[in-house]
Chain A
Amino acid sequence: MSLAITKINPAFVDVMPQEYLDLASDGPFAADKSVKDLGTFKELIEEHPLCAGCNLALAFRTLISALPCPEDTVIVGSTGCNSLAFPQLAIHNVHALFGNQNAVASGLKRGLKLRFPDQNKDVVVMAGDGATADIGFDMTMHSWIRGENITTVMFDNEIYANTGGQESGMTPFGTVRNMAPTGKNFQKMNVPEFAKQAGCVYVAKVSTANTAKIGQCFRNAVLAAREIGPTYIQIYTPCPTNLKMKPAESVALAKKRAKEDYAFEEYMSEEVENLLVSSGAIKPKVKKEEGKK
């Protein structure tokens, strides 16, 4: 049933736009594509109106390419720069009111479980740091506390990029931004730690310095959310426009931060580790010290 919707009715093949013919013949459906295959298949997201050098766009493309089951996935987005890319995305996606994304995703996941009890339907939230950690923080935390089977991805550009550069809870201490001229005077929120405390069974902190890592962690997170409980991925995605840097410099910044305070961190519960090992997604004993309690 699910794959049937990726096949074109023979009566209409001659009138389908090329894009859809390519998606049907060379897309990622049931093809188990991953980040390393980028450039060799028809992607679900191609054009987008985000700025040149936008690391959020880079992360978005990476994440979409790593979806374990794109034909059975619904992505919930929220207001912010990321929402500008969603209209081009060739799989189901919902734009939630700013901040409501985890509540919308919770309801959606529950509805899908009722409607398709024998099928996997992955629900993934992808939203900015403002949506996840500030205005939607209540929704984010409570979806975790309730143990919803959803994955939450935060695009952490440490700023409200879409509205011109206000500070967010994720902006580091002391940072001056376009619309935060006196510098931030409290700490960056430690959302990965909150996630663990609130019951996320898999948590990863990654950056665009390593896109392969983003893909692996995201896949792990989606599989764990499907079987076990809420999962969280936080991706550092610097915004060249607000930081007033050349597009080409933005990944260098991500690499620099990855050596400083944005180093890769991964936590998984024992249950998740067993699941991922038994499904072949990871090799045994990959647990970082983060994971040990």
Chain B
Amino acid sequence: MGAYQVLQGPEGYLPPAAAMQGVTLAGPGKAMIEGRHVEKQEAIECIAEKLLGATVPTFFPGPLVLWRTTDYAQERGKLIREISAEVGAKVIPMPDYRPKYPMINPEVEINPNHPNLTIWFNKIDVGVFIGVHCHQANLALKIIRGGTSCFTVALCAEEGHEEANVSLRETDNDTLRKLLATVKDLKKRRA
């Protein structure tokens, strides 16, 4: 049996947790594509390509970037908006993690307990998580992989996510600048 691949969904109603299938987090300086450990730059290029090739690319900023108005968070916010503008992506926030029974408004927000509603409603084909606390990100990523065909990217400030199709770790603002530069570069080469 080959290594388990964290592929674009739908994998099925209850996909196995990638970690349980033997997928491990990449170490410092590395990244992950579909569960494989790769060089960070390779993953950044993959993200840029996916974003530029998508029909409805979307950024999902979470509470860690939406609320903390430190200088660092504000700069991070600007970078996220620059990248999303560059690739023509929507920005749909995940302001908190309340299940908000009976339903959220999928047009304007995404919720980790039923992220599929927002993906389906907006027909999102590439979704980028950033600033979402890791536990909630893993939950949302797994649900998306289970029930939708959305390609997922995790721009994690900690150690990354097994459940994402592409995952960066220690995504600081410099990494975001690198992603922005890679996107611009790729656009130029394609033009």
- Chain A residues with CB under 8 Å of chain B are 4-12, 15-17, 20, 49, 84, 87-90
> Known contacts A5-B68, A9-B69, A16-B93; is A89 also within 8 Å of B98 by CB?
yes
Hey, which chain B residues are within 8 Å of A49, CB to CB? 101-102
Count chain A CB atoms within 10 A of each CB in B74, B78, B93 and give the residue with the most.
Answer: B93
**What is the count of residue pairs linking A and B with beta-carbon distances less than 8 angstroms?**
65
Closest Cβ–Cβ distance, residue A155 to chain B (whole Å)? 19
A20-B78 Cα distance, complex, nearest whole Å: 20
Closest Cβ–Cβ distance, residue A205 to chain B (whole Å)? 31
The answer to whether A9 touches B101 (Cβ under 8 A) is no
Hey, which chain B residues are within 8 Å of A6, CB to CB? 67
B139 contacts the other chain (CB 8 A):
no
The answer to whether A8 touches B66 (Cβ under 8 A) is yes
Hey, which chain A residues are within 8 Å of B68, CB to CB? 4-5, 9
- Nearest opposing residue in chain B for A15, CB measure: B91
A5-B68 Cα distance, complex, nearest whole Å: 5
A90-B142 Cα distance, complex, nearest whole Å: 25
The answer to whether A9 touches B91 (Cβ under 8 A) is no
Contact of A17 among B74, B91, B95 (CB under 8 A): B95
Enumerate 21 A-B pairs (CB-CB under 8 Å) in ascending A order: A4-B67, A5-B63, A7-B69, A9-B65, A9-B67, A9-B68, A9-B73, A10-B74, A10-B77, A11-B81, A12-B81, A15-B91, A16-B93, A16-B95, A17-B93, A17-B95, A20-B93, A49-B102, A87-B99, A88-B101, A90-B98
B96 contacts the other chain (CB 8 A):
yes
B100 contacts the other chain (CB 8 A):
yes
A20-B111 Cα distance, complex, nearest whole Å: 14
Interface of B is mostly: loop
Closest Cβ–Cβ distance, residue B165 to chain A (whole Å)? 24
The answer to whether A12 touches B93 (Cβ under 8 A) is yes
Hey, which chain A residues are within 8 Å of B66, CB to CB? 8-9, 12, 16
Closest Cβ–Cβ distance, residue B145 to chain A (whole Å)? 24
The answer to whether A20 touches B95 (Cβ under 8 A) is yes
The answer to whether B98 touches A15 (Cβ under 8 A) is no
A149-B67 Cα distance, complex, nearest whole Å: 29
Per-position binary interface string of chain B over residues 60-91, scored 1 when its CB falls under 8 Å from any chain A CB and 0 otherwise: 01010111111001101110110000000001
Contact of A7 among B67, B80, B95 (CB under 8 A): B67
The answer to whether B74 touches A9 (Cβ under 8 A) is yes
Closest Cβ–Cβ distance, residue A102 to chain B (whole Å)? 23
Count chain A CB atoms within 10 A of each CB in B63, B66, B96, B105 and give the residue with the most.
Answer: B66
Hey, which chain A residues are within 8 Å of B101, CB to CB? 49, 84, 87-88
A15-B66 Cα distance, complex, nearest whole Å: 10
Hey, which chain B residues are within 8 Å of A88, CB to CB? 98, 100-101
Hey, which chain A residues are within 8 Å of B69, CB to CB? 4, 7-10
Hey, which chain B residues are within 8 Å of A4, CB to CB? 67-70
